[in-house]
Amino acid sequence: MNYDIANPELAEAGARRVEWAGRRMPVLQTVRERFREERPLEGHVVAACLHVTAETANLMLALRDGGAEPLLCASNPLSTQDDVAAALVADGIPVFAIRGEDSDTYYKHIHAVLDHAPAVTMDDGADLATVLHTERRDLEVIGSTEETTTGVIRLRAMASDGTLRVPVVAVNDSATKHLFDNHYGTGQSTLDGIIRASNILLAGQTMVVVGYGDCGRGVARRADGLGAHVVVVEVDPVRALTAVMDGFRVMTAADAAPLGDVFITVTGNKHVLRPEHFAVMKDGAILANSGHFDIEIDLASLYAESVARRAVRENLDEVELPDGRRLLIAAEGRLVNLGAAEGHPADVMDMSFSNQAMAAEYLIENRETLEPKIYTLPEEIDERVAAIKLAHMGGGLEQLTDDQKAYLAGWQEGTS
Ligand code: NAI
């Protein structure tokens, strides 16, 4: 078997983590049971470019139970859990990922999974899809799935300029993905990453959250819960107003820059913090990013201005500026929740990855009719995922009476 990982001897430790995560993924276990019986992915190679974590390992196992031949490479050079990669390889699933790999190795690994001529590709940030539309146009795939907001934005841009040549399921657009993973998952794990990188007490700190989308709202609410003074920076007036009504101060990045003790970017955009902001930040301010790429904080400009740079803790670099102020960068400006912590808890990836597994099934099942467009999974799948999760969390679901169904479907009753 072909693979490229850091250390196969870490397999036992990785297997324990995979098992632990699996225990907290009841929806995915339900999908696995059905997959074992129905084998909907039989004989298809599925190449995944996802964060190599214990939760992803459980998705790979689910795909294999469905009859697929899964392969995995990393969607971020800093998020790979080397022990999990080793556990998957020991279990017969090829992995091409090494934590901290350089850019050349990262792309070599992307090509390595594509060399297996996959029927379906799975992305978190559209890296496989981008290569399929550039250097590997020779490959024919049934379709692709996309996990995150940033990837979906890119793929929609490809669809609108006519470049997209494969059907794509935007898993991020499922309600049981973005309303939970982006909100609760990113909310908790981003703070987990900042705390692990710095060990600061968040209570009483001014925390500037740049971007108040699904992720930003989760981060802001959790920071608030830990006693931080949250300031929100937004470009969308409706979201900015929502932040005000949620009880946060909203201001421009320029006004927030001198106030923040901690900055977190979650916009999916580039250079939302840049030299004019660095120039007025406090000595000791911590800068972290939880948006997909490492370009939200303009680190190239910051490093170009700096007089010294050193690691002060694991995943925390200190950058000294000519006037003596020091800014601290968590996880090299890459996803802080995956670089400095373990990413989202399994409990929430349970739903995201159940959607991923069913997206692969959807592409294969409907391959004769799908066009090169962006698809969202049918609402029934969202409802099924939510209902199973709810039942596992001990929630009861009220049912409509026939009378209520008729009332909601009609218009005459109650109008006089
Ligand atoms: P979203 O589209 O719901 O929210 C992004 C917000 O940022 C929008 O409200 C937008 O108006 C705002 N924004 C854009 N440019 C801005 C600027 N210059 N200044 C201030 N605000 C600005 O997106 P979502 O789902 O919250 O995702 C945000 C990013 O996080 C994406 O890159 C996504 O891929 C990534 N993500 C990261 C995860 C993680 O594990 N860390 C998990 C899920 C998503």
Q: Assign 245 to helix, strand or coil.
A: helix
| Segment 241-248 mean pLDDT | 98
Q: Find the farthest-apart pair of alpha carbons in the chain and give their distance in angstroms, rounded.
A: 76
Distance, CA of 142 to CA of 321 (rounded, Å): 51
Position 129 scores a pLDDT of 97
Rounded distance from Cα 214 to ligand 1 centre (Å): 7
Alpha-carbon span 255 to 345, nearest angstrom: 34
- 141-159 residue pLDDT tens: 999 999 999 999 999 999 9
Give the alpha-carbon dihedral of 268, 361, 70, 60, to 10 degrees: 70
Per-residue DSSP letter, 333: G
Instruction: Check pLDDT > 90 for residue 67.
Output: yes
pLDDT value of residue 416? 62
Distance 36 CA to ligand 1 centre (A): 36
- From 292, 344, 352, the mutation candidate for ligand 1 (largest count of ligand atoms within 8 A of CB) is 292
What residue owns the CA closest to ligand 1's atom 4? 213
Cβ atoms of residues 387 and 397 within 8 Å: yes
**Can you give the pLDDT at residue 39?**
98
The mean predicted confidence, pLDDT, of the chain is: 97
* pLDDT in the model for residue 413: 86
pLDDT digits (tens, 9 = 90+) for 4-47: 999 999 999 999 999 999 999 999 999 999 999 999 999 999 99
| Banded pLDDT at 240 (limits 50, 70, 90) | very high
pLDDT digits (tens, 9 = 90+) for 386-407: 999 999 999 999 999 999 999 9
Kindly state the average pLDDT of the residues 264-288. 98
- Mean pLDDT confidence for 349-364: 97
- For the chain, domains (ranges, CATH) are 8-177+344-392 (3.40.50.1480), 185-339 (3.40.50.720)
Q: What is the pTM of this model?
A: 0.94
Judge contact between 109 and 101, C-beta under 8 A.
yes
User: Does residue 272 surpass a pLDDT of 80?
Assistant: yes
| d(C-alpha 187, C-alpha 223), whole Å | 8
Number of helical H runs and strand E runs in the chain: 18, 16
The closest residue, in CA terms, to atom 43 on ligand 1 is: 182
Give the closest residue to 339 by CA, choosing from 16, 52, 13, 14.
52
The H-or-E segment that residue 289 falls in is strand 286-289
272 C-beta closer than 6 A to ligand 1: yes
